[in-house]
Structure 1
Amino acid sequence: MAVLNCGMSLSAQADQVTIGSKQFTENIIIAEIVTRVLNYQGLAAEHKKGLGGTRILWGALVQGEIDIYPEYTGTLSQELLAGAQSSDLQQLQAALSAYGISMSAPLGFNNSYVLGMRGQTADGLKISTITDLRRYPELRFGFSNEFMSRADGWPGLRDRYQLRQSHVTGLDHDLAYRGLMQGQLDVIDLYATDAEIAYYGIQPLHDDQDYFPGYLAVILYRQSLAVEYPEIPEVLRSLGGRIAADRMSAMNAEVKLKGLSEQGVAAAYLNDEFGMKTAVRDIKILDALLRNTLDHLWLVLISLTAAIMAGIPLGVIAARHRRTGRIVLSAAGIIQT
């Protein structure tokens, strides 16, 4: 339990460590766990939640805009470090070092890509493998936008399995689930630890040609961070092997199906696994509504003020100068359209 024993010197550092996360529940939970562990050790750490997709987080890490974020070995080998073997952790670390990045030990679960169908549909068509999809070119596929363009996503999968489906749509991951359950889609991409698989009775299709690599969850961090805070690598290593696949699926379910916050779920995990008690600010629905309303009103105020400051002088000019007025009205009409 080394994570509990390496915090004393961290509190002496005044700078803040920034942890980023991608735009899906599991990544946010892991980033929240890391943030809370570092805060528990006395380090000022901030979680920037849901910054974007893989390329955005990777670019931010390499450029020093964030210090840490959760990633997956398959994504590293197929998308970010072309040519590296996801099963060879030493090779991945060597490739990462060229960018000044280090990697923690695997956290304990493999979140590989999976294709899935409604169980009733799969049984009715006798589909159990991805190869079986060849027999049904009329099936409607709906994949997450990132999966549509990834090197380890749809283009390579289509070519490997020689799939001939033409109705293939890119959309948000959560919308794909809705489309599947409403009968608007037949096949979607899943993450192996998605809570919805069991909840909705979705049938994962066997990757019978071993297309998808392993996607072991790891933590990436800047090597310069280890120089500033030598204890951080040990803190991150202490999380290695401590999150089992079933626990990760359960945490995903608590957020996506039970409506709990990522902060609360991460805090509960740390309490159960390490005996860490971290504070949770539970954001109620009314609090979130009030905050979003105030944000909206502030944006409206800014735009309205700008419109008034520009509109009144232009209106005066348009009223006094007919030719200029026609130009102003034409431009305003184009902008409004």
Structure 2
Amino acid sequence: MLAAGLAHGAAPDGVLRVGSKRFTESYILGELLTQTAAPHARVEHKQGLGNTAIVLAALKSGSIDVYPEYTGTIGLEILKHAQPVTLEQMQRELASQGLGIAVPLGFNNTYALAVRGESGAPRKLGDLSAQGGLRYGLSHEFIGRADGWPGLAQRYGINATPRGLDHGIAYEALAQKQVDVIDIYSTDAKIGQYGLRVLEDDQAYFPRYDAVLLYRLDAAQRFPAAWQALRTLQGRISAGDMIAMNAAAELHGQTFPAIAHNWLARHPAALAGATAPPASASAEDIAAAASSGAAARTEPGASAPAASAANAVAPRPQAGTASPPGSATLWQRLFAGDFWQLTRQHVLLVALSVALASALGIPLGILAAYRPKLREPVMAAAGILQTIPSLALLAMLIPLLGTIGTLPALCALFVYALLPIIRNTCTGISGIPQGLKQAAQALGLRPMQRLMEIELPLAAPVILAGVKTAAVMSVGTATIAAFIGAGGYGERITTGLALNDNNLMLAGALPAAVLALLTQGLFEWMEKGFKASAAARAPAQLRA
């Protein structure tokens, strides 16, 4: 498996792989890149690959070739600088890793903090330190980023402990007064929808976050025509355009492919192969792209603030696109066109991981039962593996295996399935009455014969109960596979979180719950058969 993963990650197969993170804007930009390059190469969009650490590991391993990123994130989070650095310095440091920055898209999407737009609310970040008792609900990535909460709290003297919230539900939590301050992106469509006040960064803490492409240097050589097409996007997306596209997804329920298609239809030069700028970005390119993006022609209202941009520019749903979040029923979401594909992916992940865990866990459980001195170390090792957080395990597996997708997801699920299988196997073998073991020994059965013909059949119901526990747990845990592009029902859940779409989240959660119940029912039916067989088998063997 390890060799296969390394081979997959290293060997180019003629497919340009575009990545994106797990938030609305990144999904949309990933689709724009995919559709722009599609006329010139085979393109695959690996969408919703979790946070910066996971998508960067995928880029370095060769599992993806390019993804949309932001200059502030590159300098402070990826390259670990304490202060913003020049684009030229970032280019030099990335080149040593085989990576590069290119194609500044034309807008700056900086971080900011926002509060409800009510009287008496803070107006500047500097006001926060004087207002005790404020409840902060911040995204997990922002809490841990070098350019996020730790530095911000220190710069402004804020003494508070933030609560970690998914970005997709933070707006609703703020509106319902469960929190008082949230982190936002300046191109978020919901700023105007919820009537929020964006706090002025009066000490200029946040750097610029100009949208660019972070890519593998060999991608431009492997896909010259597609790369030429991607470069024509430079400076063409204004902040108003981006707010409008975010609104089309979050407020009007359009699908990401439909949003990208609509934007490209209004900007045909991108698909027509307009004159491309230089291959890598310079500081002048960033400035020029930001200037041209700000002045880019869009429909009326695109250059207005977030509220008017979202309302004036966002395309309304058309035939063949998704309905607004409130109008698409749960039934429609549940049995959408991707249902059987996601079901097949989810079942495959669970079945393979549990089968592999059984192949290793049952022998280890037998060994632990036969060798009491090994029992504690084996159980302790399996228990420690069980406690590793899933996203941390995935982030470690991607560089180790050199790929994203099914292989690291299978390995993670395999690790989590081991403990119940090992424990129940050991318990089942150890719990066989000593009298039966002595009787089998008196009949002259060799150790392997006793194990295969007496002990395993008697222990089978207990062992099967452990496999059942592992399988049911794996059905739920397999939803994390979507974070690294392995598919399954988790794709709906993660996209629903990004869009704050409850029906879409339920359309992923309900099939997973039903699959868990079906899995449990199947194993309970098998257990009954094994119990009946075990009850009759041992006495018959001993009488023979």
Q: If the TM-score is normalised by the length of the shorter chain, which range does it land in?
A: 0.7 to 0.9
Could you tell me whether the CA contact under 8 Å between 1:143 and 1:170 is conserved in 2? Answer: yes
Write the letter of the residue equivalent to 2:28.
I
- The answer on 1:150 being equivalent to 2:195 is no
Provide the C-alpha distance between the structure 1 equivalents of 2:73 and 2:537, rounded to a whole number of angstroms: 61
Bigger RCO of structures 1 and 2 (CA < 8 A, at least 6 apart): 1
| TM-score normalised to structure 2 length | 0.52
Provide the C-alpha distance between the structure 1 equivalents of 2:182 and 2:264, rounded to a whole number of angstroms: 33
Could you tell me whether the CA contact under 8 Å between 1:84 and 1:91 is conserved in 2? Answer: no
Aligned residue for 1:208?
202
- The answer on 1:315 being equivalent to 2:543 is no
Aligned residue for 1:234?
228
Could you tell me whether the CA contact under 8 Å between 1:85 and 1:91 is conserved in 2? Answer: no
Write the letter of the residue equivalent to 1:27.
S
Greater radius of gyration (CA): 2
Could you tell me whether the CA contact under 8 Å between 2:253 and 2:322 is conserved in 1? Answer: no
Provide the C-alpha distance between the structure 1 equivalents of 2:67 and 2:528, rounded to a whole number of angstroms: 48
Aligned residue for 2:492?
none
Provide the C-alpha distance between the structure 1 equivalents of 2:535 and 2:155, rounded to a whole number of angstroms: 67
Identity rate, percent:
41
Could you tell me whether the CA contact under 8 Å between 2:254 and 2:321 is conserved in 1? Answer: no
Name the structure with the higher strand share: 1
Provide the C-alpha distance between the structure 2 equivalents of 1:117 and 1:317, rounded to a whole number of angstroms: 65
Q: 255, 258, 273: which is aligned to 2:252?
A: 258
2:142 partner SS = helix
Provide the C-alpha distance between the structure 2 equivalents of 1:50 and 1:198, rounded to a whole number of angstroms: 25
1:125-140 map, 5 Å? 125=121, 127-140=122-135
Aligned residue for 1:28?
27
1:51 partner SS = coil
Aligned residue for 1:40?
39
Could you tell me whether the CA contact under 8 Å between 2:137 and 2:181 is conserved in 1? Answer: yes
Write the letter of the residue equivalent to 2:32.
I
Most deviating of 247-256 and 80-89: 80-89
1:206 partner SS = coil
Most deviating of 21-30 and 97-106: 97-106
Runs of at least 4 residues off by over 4 Å: 84-87, 283-287, 291-294, 297-302, 317-322
Provide the C-alpha distance between the structure 1 equivalents of 2:165 and 2:13, rounded to a whole number of angstroms: 42
| TM-score normalised to structure 1 length | 0.82
Query: Could you say if the C-alpha distance between residues 119 and 222 of structure 1 is closer, same or farther in structure 2, counting changes exceeding 3 Å?
Result: same
Aligned residue for 2:181?
187
Aligned residue for 2:155?
160
Aligned-pair CA distance for 1:96: 1.2
Aligned-pair CA distance for 1:73: 0.5
Could you tell me whether the CA contact under 8 Å between 1:160 and 1:211 is conserved in 2? Answer: yes
Q: 40, 52, 55: which is aligned to 2:53?
A: 55
Query: Could you say if the C-alpha distance between residues 84 and 170 of structure 1 is closer, same or farther in structure 2, counting changes exceeding 3 Å?
Result: closer
Aligned residue for 1:91?
89
Aligned residue for 1:19?
18
Provide the C-alpha distance between the structure 2 equivalents of 1:290 and 1:109, rounded to a whole number of angstroms: 37
Could you tell me whether the CA contact under 8 Å between 2:37 and 2:227 is conserved in 1? Answer: no
Aligned residue for 1:290?
335
Write the letter of the residue equivalent to 2:267.
E
Provide the C-alpha distance between the structure 2 equivalents of 1:201 and 1:61, rounded to a whole number of angstroms: 37
- 5+ unaligned residues in a row in structure 2: which ranges? 1-11, 273-318, 344-510, 539-544
1:264 partner SS = helix
Query: Could you say if the C-alpha distance between residues 320 and 86 of structure 1 is closer, same or farther in structure 2, counting changes exceeding 3 Å?
Result: farther
Query: Could you say if the C-alpha distance between residues 45 and 134 of structure 1 is closer, same or farther in structure 2, counting changes exceeding 3 Å?
Result: same
Provide the C-alpha distance between the structure 2 equivalents of 1:210 and 1:229, rounded to a whole number of angstroms: 40
Aligned residue for 2:102?
104
Write the letter of the residue equivalent to 2:31.
E
Could you tell me whether the CA contact under 8 Å between 2:171 and 2:194 is conserved in 1? Answer: no
Provide the C-alpha distance between the structure 1 equivalents of 2:241 and 2:214, rounded to a whole number of angstroms: 21
Could you tell me whether the CA contact under 8 Å between 2:84 and 2:207 is conserved in 1? Answer: yes
Could you tell me whether the CA contact under 8 Å between 2:110 and 2:208 is conserved in 1? Answer: yes
Deviations 1:266-289 (A, max 9, x none): 001111112659xx9646755541
Query: Could you say if the C-alpha distance between residues 45 and 309 of structure 1 is closer, same or farther in structure 2, counting changes exceeding 3 Å?
Result: farther
Could you tell me whether the CA contact under 8 Å between 1:141 and 1:188 is conserved in 2? Answer: yes
CA RMSD of aligned residues (A): 2.7
Aligned-pair CA distance for 1:99: 1.2
1:52 partner SS = coil
2:129 partner SS = helix
Name the structure with the higher helix share: 2
